[in-house]
Structure 1
Amino acid sequence: MTPMPALWRSAGRTARGKLRARNEDAFLDCPQRGCWAVADGMGGHRAGDVASQSVIRSLASLPGDDGFDQRIDTVRRRLRALDRQLSRAVPSVDGSLTDMMGSTVVALLLDGNRAACLWVGDSRCYLWRGQRLYQLSRDHSRLQQLMDRQHLTLEQARGHPNARALTRAIGGRQPLSLEVLELCVRPGDVFLLCSDGLYQGLSHGVLGRALSMNNPRQMVDRLFAEVLRGSAQDDLTAVVVQP
């Protein structure tokens, strides 16, 4: 296996939304293991921050010296185990029961010229390649479902009741269905993992200009500067990975 630290540079950042009492996002920036992730605790549910941090902890100790296919399987197994754990009602500190502890996750695994994007929910993975922006992940949300099944435009779907509701999540009512997309890495590729609080406030043009900068730290800082100029009501998180 090719050593990760020699191949990849990365940077991550998270911030609490301006109208939020606490940050329910979490991220993993672990180039030495070739693993990065963003998790967004489900808004409106108590302990969303606990759920997102549990997702990141489950991935943080992922072995870096296993074969690539084995590492993908390990991510699947760990997230399925966590899904079963979070799906149960969890006592809170005051003895009551939470309705749900849930989180989205988008993760990126790299090994040499192989990449795998794994996700559930509406946190996203983008690829900046050849001066074009590609969305690799596809949201598991009511919004996306309305556009796919009822052929609504984005503007029409946004006006629908419960448009922001998730259709899949870790800790949801249904067994975890994790999507995986594998691809080959090319020189000059840049990957962006982010929560919806980041991408909802930015156009593809703004995302692309930020990902054209010189290094991951500059890219992340530019993304945050752009979002924080606006209302930034939701928590925002970004991880950028670059060859």
Structure 2
Amino acid sequence: MLAGALDQQASFRFETGATTDVGKVRSENEDSYIVHADAGLWCVADGMGGYEAGKLASSTVVEALRTIGQAASPADLLARFQDRVLQANIGLRKAGEERGLTTFGTTVVALLIYERFFACCWAGDSRTYRVRQGRLSQVSRDHTEVQDLVDQGQLTPEEAKRWPGRNIITRAIGVSDLPDLDLIQGVVEDGDVFVLCSDGLTGHVSDAEILAGVAGRAPQAACDHLVQLTLARGASDNVTVIVVACEPKDAEAPVSPSPARSDADGRGA
């Protein structure tokens, strides 16, 4: 997952794009994100609890992750991430009790990269995809009631798209005393592109369209395209997209029509 101190990103150069938008229906953007390429961290959090509560939940996780620092190994990076999420979870539990909130928390999906190792960590239905050699695969698995029904063979993927309450999530940060994260680890290959997003994107844009939106575009242009596509279809929820392109450190830098931005949340990137 990442590289250490001055050598942290010895294996790859990262080009990152990020865009978030409140959408066409909501009055408040409850999504937050962080791009921290120097530490090998990218994360999207989608808050729940309504208005200020949802934004507080997602931003609490993002602010905790800003302190992650430089890791010395893949295991160290993962441990640092898990510690920050734990601290954010403690803070959210306390804030929820003080405010008397019964529904208060946030999804989280994070990509960690150290040298040629990556980890995808998540809770909820925000997703990570990977594009490799022209093919898109979903790295994370949604923590939702409808996904459980699909896994149990009680629904087909097509039926799941029309299932009532399909967005009811089964895991989130801040809803229990300890965070319950899933983890997938692997090796990064030259040219891999990762896409992290809130469900505001996948509610309107298919996997095939995500692949088409990323193909041939610089990361920032890809993010902007996917968010604009979501807005054109009604954007019933907040939408956030991060695209991370992994190129060999010694490869010629691509010419990007839009500069990557970092460590931002809110509208735009």
When the two structures are superposed, what TM-score results if normalisation uses the length of structure 2? 0.83
Please say which of residues 60-69 and 17-26 is displaced more in the overlay: 60-69
Q: Percent identity?
A: 34
Please say which of residues 223-232 and 173-182 is displaced more in the overlay: 173-182
Q: In 2, distance between residues paired with 1:215 and 1:43?
A: 34
Counterpart residue number, 2:101: 98
- The structure 2 residue matched to 1:41, chosen from 25, 43, 47, is 47
What are the ranges of 5 or more consecutive residues in structure 2 without an aligned counterpart? 247-269
After superposition, the Cα gap between the structure-2 partners of 1:162 and 1:45, relative to the gap in structure 1 and judged at 3 Å, is farther
SS at match of 1:47: helix
Displacement, 1:174?
6.0
SS at match of 1:4: coil
Counterpart residue number, 2:21: 15
Runs (4+) of structure 1 moved beyond 6 Å? none
TM-superposition CA deviations, 1:32-65 (whole Å, max 9, x none): 2111000000254760100000011111121124
Please say which of residues 68-77 and 102-111 is displaced more in the overlay: 68-77
What are the ranges of 5 or more consecutive residues in structure 1 without an aligned counterpart? none
Displacement, 1:180?
1.0
SS at match of 2:98: coil
After superposition, the Cα gap between the structure-2 partners of 1:169 and 1:45, relative to the gap in structure 1 and judged at 3 Å, is farther
After superposition, the Cα gap between the structure-2 partners of 1:43 and 1:234, relative to the gap in structure 1 and judged at 3 Å, is farther
The answer as to whether partners of 1:207 and 1:223 remain within 8 angstroms in 2 is: yes
The answer as to whether partners of 1:46 and 1:98 remain within 8 angstroms in 2 is: no
The answer as to whether partners of 2:108 and 2:126 remain within 8 angstroms in 1 is: yes
Q: In 2, distance between residues paired with 1:174 and 1:230?
A: 38
Q: Provide the aligned C-alpha RMSD in A.
A: 1.9
Counterpart residue number, 1:25: 31
Displacement, 1:66?
2.6
Counterpart residue number, 2:256: none
1:139 and 2:145 equivalent?
A: no
TM-superposition CA deviations, 1:176-220 (whole Å, max 9, x none): 211111111111100000000012211122111111123211111
The answer as to whether partners of 1:125 and 1:193 remain within 8 angstroms in 2 is: yes
The answer as to whether partners of 2:30 and 2:51 remain within 8 angstroms in 1 is: no
After superposition, the Cα gap between the structure-2 partners of 1:174 and 1:144, relative to the gap in structure 1 and judged at 3 Å, is farther
The answer as to whether partners of 1:115 and 1:184 remain within 8 angstroms in 2 is: yes
Counterpart residue number, 2:119: 116
Please say which of residues 40-49 and 142-151 is displaced more in the overlay: 40-49
When the two structures are superposed, what TM-score results if normalisation uses the length of structure 1? 0.91
After superposition, the Cα gap between the structure-2 partners of 1:102 and 1:45, relative to the gap in structure 1 and judged at 3 Å, is farther
Displacement, 1:150?
4.4
The structure whose RCO (Cα within 8 Å, separation 6+) is larger is 2
TM-superposition CA deviations, 1:114-155 (whole Å, max 9, x none): 111110000000000011000000011111011112431134
The answer as to whether partners of 2:197 and 2:241 remain within 8 angstroms in 1 is: yes
